[in-house]
């Protein structure tokens, strides 16, 4: 019989994409106020995998990922997604979003994103939020899944997640 155990804490990773790079400073301040100090920041990446957001946000779009120092309990992902949705709403201008905020967490074996949208591979975790298993870690590398968003399967994000994973290993040491 398996015995329930408390899961390991996770490394909070938040993806941002926006047209206006100048929003990064205020957004990072808001996110730090809510979730603690930022530990690692990716370089800017072009976000050109879909035109889904073009009508609302314009083009070109850019992505940046932030990893946070304080490890989180995995059960807090719905609260974090709810908080980042509220932040997105604060940055709306003329009825249009200016930023998309994608919170998730990293563990040794996987990378999970939060979503408000149900789909066959997403597991409901409360408060109207689903966990999207985005990447798995096997044989020394991240592996995409059939539903992995193309940008999360691309080299720059995978490289950053390897860096976050190394930092996470340090964070777990006593």
Give 25-54 pLDDT, tens digit per residue: 999 999 999 999 999 999 999 887 788 888
Q: pTM for the whole thing?
A: 0.95
Q: Is the pLDDT of residue 103 over 90?
A: yes
pLDDT at 55: 85
Average pLDDT score, the chain: 95
- Residue pair 100/53 in contact (Cβ under 8 Å)? The answer is yes
What pLDDT band is residue 152 in, cutting at 50, 70 and 90? very high
Report d(CA 159, CA 165) in Å as an integer.
10
Residue with tokens 């591979």: 121
For 10-172, CATH number out of 3.30.70, 2.160.20, 1.20.1740, 1.10.3470 equals 3.30.70
Report d(CA 117, CA 115) in Å as an integer.
5
Q: How many Å is the maximal CA-CA distance in the chain? A: 56
- Residue pair 102/15 in contact (Cβ under 8 Å)? The answer is yes
| Structure tokens, 26 | 């205020």
Report d(CA 13, CA 26) in Å as an integer.
17
Q: Tell me the pLDDT tens digit for each residue of 68-100.
A: 999 999 999 999 999 999 999 999 999 999 999
Report d(CA 124, CA 162) in Å as an integer.
27
**Domain locations along the chain:** 10-172
Listed in order, strand segments (DSSP E) in 73-128 are 99-106, 110-115, 122-126
- Bridge partners of residue 16, in order along the sequence: 64, 101
């Amino acid at each position: 019989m398996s015995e329930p155990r408390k899961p390991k804490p996770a490394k909070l990773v938040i993806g941002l994409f926006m047209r206006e790079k100048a929003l990064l400073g205020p957004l990072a301040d808001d996110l730090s106020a809510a979730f603690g100090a930022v530990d690692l920041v990716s370089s800017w990446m072009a976000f050109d995998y879909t035109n889904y957001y073009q009508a609302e946000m314009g083009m070109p779009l850019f992505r940046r990922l932030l990893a946070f120092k304080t490890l989180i309990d995995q059960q807090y992902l719905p609260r974090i997604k709810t908080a980042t949705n509220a932040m997105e709403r604060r940055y709306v201008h003329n009825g249009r979003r200016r930023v998309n905020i994608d919170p998730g967490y990293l563990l040794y074996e996987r990378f999970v994103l939060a979503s408000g949208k149900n789909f066959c591979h997403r597991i409901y975790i409360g408060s109207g939020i689903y966990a999207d298993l985005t990447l798995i870690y096997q044989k020394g590398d991240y592996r995409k899944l059939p539903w992995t968003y193309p940008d999360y399967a691309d080299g720059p994000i995978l490289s950053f997640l390897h860096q976050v994973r190394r930092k996470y290993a340090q964070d777990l040491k006593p």
